[in-house]
Every structure is written in structure tokens, then in C-alpha cells.
A = this chain, B = another copy of it.
Amino acid sequence: MKRSTIKDVANRLGVNPSTVSRALKDHPDIGLALREEIKRVAAEMRYTPNQMAVQLRQRQSHLIGLVIPEITMFFYPSVIRGIEEVLEPRGYQLVMLPSNESPLREAQNLRFCGENQLAGVLISFTRHTSPADGLSLLTRLDMPVVVFDKSLPDLPFDSVILEDEEAACRATRHLIDSGCTRIGGIFGSPNLLITQKRLQGFRRALSLSGLPFSEAMVRFAGDAAEADLCVREMIALEVIPDALFMMSDEIVMGAYPAILRSGIRIPENCSVICISDGFIPGCYYPGISYLHHDGAGIGREAALRLIGLIESDRSVALPEHRMVNAELVELESTNPVLKGD
């Protein structure tokens, strides 16, 4: 039994398809009696509109492309929840387009968005996308787009990102304020703009307090396993910090157990702080203070902006760059605030 079309309904009643179409959307041109009858029959025949046809006619789908560097358990699940929160009540759906950290795949993903007439695109770039490539990709895409989190320098498109430099600086200062002086840092992939900015903030905090910056005290890790290695290296080289800044949840999950494993005690021998989405720090004991990198919030903001672009006249507005700032959350290890995330 195939799905019934508007034509089937029309034939069944001996009326024109256009009449059915109008009746179903309560067009006043159709008499009340017939209108009800049509609705009845349509329901009985379990008619539902074929959205492919509707969208072809309307020249637009209600699909939003989500182009992200990779599907990870960090950050993006929150972002997606935030986005969904905004999209769902407005009838849009999200299409996942993971790029697996490959600029090539990223380009294909964007092409997909164009060919399928998606309503708009939310994108976070891979760690290997060059600013020039990113620019040209989005430019030729010619469709509403909002960049979030992993942005590129000087992009003339709307964006929603964390105040990275400031967040890292405040985190580091928090360590300094609590009396630490030999402060180490573990950062993400050095290609990323957010890494560069967070490193800058880290350095700024040090120099503001007259503390020396030592190359030996900073490490870069592409994932949790590398973060684990970073810690081991530092221990092996006997550059033992009395405090450690970790720029992300993923790094925490690699580095934190590595610290404990090496025999160093937290926080007695080494204070820690990180930039986090908020869930992970409460899952460790002793807990970790963090600057809240609110994934859901960023997702919501980005989605709202995109909906704005889509439903307004998309061509005019100047790009807006929203920087959301991170709130410091201090975790008393005796009474952690475990949120539902």
C-alpha cells in the first residue's frame, strides 16, 4: 500500500487536486462543507504531504546543515542540544555533516548543503582548514551561515564564539591568585584559533603577574591520549608544575588521571583549572574549578542568529560577531554540583 497523494484524495472525491490542497490549508475559497469532507477523507486515507514536492515548489527545505570537524563526546553534544532547542519549535531539522577533520570532506559537506537547498548552515571548522579556504567555501556557498566555536580569522560571516583569550587569562589568574607560581598548561591542537587565543590569555595572565613564561611548561595535545602523554613527558623531564591549566574537557580526561597516576596529588601538590562545558569537572574527585564554555548556550545563540538570517532578508545585514564570555565556577570538592549536563 503506497502512500496516498493529493491526487488520490482528489480522485476519490471527484474534485481537483488544487481544491484539496486549498481545503487542507483552510483556504476560504473552498466551501465549508466540502472543506470538511475533504479533510475527513484525507485523514481516512492517511494522506500526508510529500515534503519533497512541497520543498521543490517552495525552493527551500526546513533542513539545517551542521558541519562540524568531528563527532566527539565533548562539547558538540551540548551544542546540538542547544541548537535543537531553538530549531525544534520552529520546525527545522538538523542534518549532521561531520568532516572528520578533513578539509576535503568539509568542502563536500558544504556542497551537499547547497545542492539540497538546505535552509542554512551552522559550521565549526576543522583544525586543518586555512582561513582562505574557509572564506572561499562560505562565500561561494551563497546561503545563510553562522560560524560557531572553531572559527577562522577575519571571516565576514556571523559567528558565535567563546571569549577565549579572556577565559584562559581569568583561569590562569585564578591559579596565580591562589598562590601558584610554576604554572603549566596543556592546550589543544596548535592550528586552532581557539588554542592560539587561549594560549595568549595564558601568557597574558602570567606576564600580568610578572611570572615567567616557559616553553617547557606548555604542551599541545590533539586528544585525551596525547594529553596523557604530555603529563608523562613533563613528569619525565621533571618540569613539575604546582598548577596546571587545561584548555578543554578532553584534555582534562587525559591529563587528570595521568597526574594522579604519577603520584602527584590534587590539589595538595598541584592545583588544576580548566575550560569546560561544565559536566566533566564534577565527575572527578577532587573536583576541578573551571571557566564555563557553555556549549548549549553557544548552540542556541548560533541557531537563533541563523534563523534570523533565514527568515529575514538574508542579503542585507552586516555580519555580527558574538563573543560569549565564560563564567568562573569554583567547585568545592566536598559538595560538587553535579548538573544533569
A287: chain B residues at CB < 8 Å are 257
Interface size, A (range): 35 or more
B84 touches A71 (CB 8 A): yes
What is the interface of chain A mostly: helix, strand, loop, or mixed?
mixed
A81 touches B77 (CB 8 A): no
Complex partner residue of A95 from B50, B96, B282, CB under 8 angstroms: B96
A95 touches B98 (CB 8 A): no
Q: Which residues 272-289 of A have a CB within 8 angstroms of B?
A: 279, 282-285, 287
Task: Tell me whether A260 is interfacial, beta carbon within 8 Å.
Answer: yes
**Complex Cα–Cα for A228 and B341 (A):** 14
A181: chain B residues at CB < 8 Å are none
**Complex Cα–Cα for A51 and B50 (A):** 15
Return the 3 tightest CB-CB contacts between A and B, nearest first.
Answer: A257-B285, A73-B73, A225-B338
**Complex Cα–Cα for A81 and B225 (A):** 19
Distance to closest chain B CB from A303 (angstroms): 13
Task: Tell me whether A316 is interfacial, beta carbon within 8 Å.
Answer: no
Q: A71-B77, A224-B338, A225-B338 are in contact. Are A283 and B254 (CB under 8 A)?
A: yes
Give the segment of A34-42, A110-118, A127-135, A155-163 that binds chain B: A110-118
Contact with B along A20-47 (1 / 0, CB 8 A): 0000000000000000000000000010
Task: Tell me whether A253 is interfacial, beta carbon within 8 Å.
Answer: yes
